[in-house]
Amino acid sequence: MTPEQLVQTTGLFYQSLIHPALDDPTFLADLDRFCQMRDNLDRGLALQLIEEVNWRDRLLGFAVAALLQDWSLSSAILETLQRRLTGMAIVPAGAWLVIQHQRVPEASPALILTRFDLTLFDGEVGWVLTRLQAVREGTFSVATEEAGPHSGQSFQDQLELYESLCESA
């Protein structure tokens, strides 16, 4: 499957990945349809989507990577936080990396904060990286209402989304 085919097949599914609602039957039905596509998805597709310029494709790429549990993509996902056009993919990238580290810490890429502009998107890049660093130090906790400073995305909802995708595998 190509990125274009996935986008065409999933339609506006990427929009629901901005603010996933795991208690919404419509979202859950869309998520289930996405998960049923697993056999048509692969690492190459996930990487192509993750490396795209727009955040829409990146969100789909993160979802594919979680569904496949392809932890080898963690460096590519971390690198997206260095891009100026990251936008709505910041909190999802951070949540994906947290889930990855919790499941397979030895696959976690080195986190060197000086490589990142922590002030990007109202400090959301720094906000996410601080949480990722806390996971690595064993001091991570997240409040249900905790949301990114730029986009207002719930970190807890994003964590639940990626955990759910991993469980679907």
Q: What is the mean pLDDT of the chain?
A: 92
Q: Is the pLDDT of residue 63 over 90?
A: yes
pTM of structure: 0.93
| pLDDT tens profile 125-134 | 999 999 999 9
pLDDT at 43 over 70: yes
- Strand, helix or coil for residue 38: helix
Phi-psi region of 45 (alpha: psi -120 to 50; beta: other; left: phi over 0): alpha
168 or 8: whose pLDDT is higher?
Answer: 8
- pLDDT at position 104 is 93
Task: Tell me the C-alpha to C-alpha distance, in Å, between residue 27 and each of 95, 144, 161, 165.
Answer: 19, 19, 11, 13
